[in-house]
Every structure is written in structure tokens, then in C-alpha cells.
């Protein structure tokens, strides 16, 4: 199968409940909050990161949109790592049909009331 884009969210690598075997990068990929507490890092977590980095090295543009557990990255944003790995707070996405979407982790809405 071929896809134009894939969106992944909330892997929470670094926690014991992370399901790195499932490929479901929109925020909280590495759990910065867990790093401050009891940190669980499995080989499968390293495997996921290595695969993503390998994809970027081979030409896939990787956009890491930060989430609430990624606050440790915020003072560095936007950040370009290599040619194809971008770390941002949010990004505009243009779908194949021309529709535009704002890609954000969504935690910005946690304390807001929408009317």
C-alpha cells in the first residue's frame, strides 16, 4: 500500500504501557513527563525511533508535531534536524484533494471551551 501521508499520535514511548508494536507523529511520541519520573525504555521503543530516522534519511519528510508531553522541546522550535526531520508546534497540511487542515496535537484545546 502507498499513502501520501501518515499521521501517528500518542505513542508515549518511555512509559510501560507504550504500544510501540502498533503503528498508530502528532505529539507525545517520546513521553517527556515519564523521563522526569520512572523511565521505561524498551528495545522496541528504540526500534521505532530508528525506523523513523531511517525513513527520514531515505527521503521521507517527517514532521513531528509536539504535544503536551513534549514541552521539553518547545524552547527549540521550530527545529530542523537533518534535511527531512522537522519538529514544530503545528503545521498546515494540504490533502491530495486540495483541502487544508491544521495538524496539531489537540492538547491546546484541553483548557478551552469552544462555542
pLDDT tens, per residue, the chain with 115 residues? 676 667 776 666 677 766 544 544 677 777 777 777 877 888 888 888 898 888 888 888 888 888 888 888 888 888 888 888 889 988 888 877 888 988 888 777 676 545 4
Number of domains in the chain: 1
Residue 26 and residue 8 in contact, taking contact as beta carbons nearer than 8 Å: yes
Nearest to 49 by CA among 62, 40, 36: 62
Beta carbons within 10 angstroms of residue 26's beta carbon: 19
**Which residue range forms the structural domain that includes residue 81?**
1-115
Amino acid at each position: 500500500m502507498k499513502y501520501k501521508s501518515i499521521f501517528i499520535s500518542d505513542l508515549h514511548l518511555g512509559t510501560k504501557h507504550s504500544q510501540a508494536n502498533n503503528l498508530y507523529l502528532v505529539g507525545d511520541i517520546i513521553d517527556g513527563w515519564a523521563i522526569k519520573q520512572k523511565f521505561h525504555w524498551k528495545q522496541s521503543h528504540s526500534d521505532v525511533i530508528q525506523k523513523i530516522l531511517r525513513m527520514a534519511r531515505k527521503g521521507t519528510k517527517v514532521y513531528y508535531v509536539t504535544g503536551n508531553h513534549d514541552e521539553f522541546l518547545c524552547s527549540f522550535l521550530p527545529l530542523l534536524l537533518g534535511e527531512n526531520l522537522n519538529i514544530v508546534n503545528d503545521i498546515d497540511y494540504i490533502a491530495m484533494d486540495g483541502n487544508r487542515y491544521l495538524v496539531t496535537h489537540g492538547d491546546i484545546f484541553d483548557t478551552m471551551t469552544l462555542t
